[in-house]
Amino acid sequence: MVLPGGEAAPHVTLAIELPDGRTAIGKPFWIYRKHAGVIDVGSWVPITMPADKPDKATLEENRVPTFDEVAAIIAEALGGPPVPPGVPDELRISLALRYANRIIALGGLPDAVAAAIRERIQRGI
């Protein structure tokens, strides 16, 4: 889980749930500007971590949508060009929905448009 810090900051703090149930704290150096907004405080994100080296944890970027991938789907739902659906991946969908819901709330979009955005994301991103 990403803990409080600057949005898209190069240093993040992670609470890492280990396979044995313990929790490790890592402070890896990440540049995740292309995931800004999609990854925010409180996000559960997939990582790869070398044994006992939480500061070397790396984001599994292929499992996290970028903000422009989410934006393209929102544009599609608003009548823009179609975006080929990605392979359904619960984590990618969950992160995309969380980000889209914040955009929907900020933009005051009508319920029908919000529903179309959510439905499209659920088909895969």
On the question of pLDDT at 104 being above 50, the answer is yes
pLDDT at residue 10, rounded to an integer: 57
On the question of pLDDT at 90 being above 90, the answer is yes
Strand partners, 67: none
Q: CA Rg, the chain, in Å?
A: 16
DSSP-derived pairing of the beta strands 47-48 and 14-17? unpaired
CA proximity to 4, closest of 60, 30, 33, 43: 43
CA separation for the pair 7, 16 (Å, rounded): 19
Q: b/e for 75-93, b at 16 or more Cβ within 10 A? A: eebeeeeebeebeebeebb
CA separation for the pair 65, 91 (Å, rounded): 9
Out of 9-18, 45-54, 59-68, pick the least confident.
9-18
pTM of the model: 0.81
- Per-residue tokens: 115: 């529903």
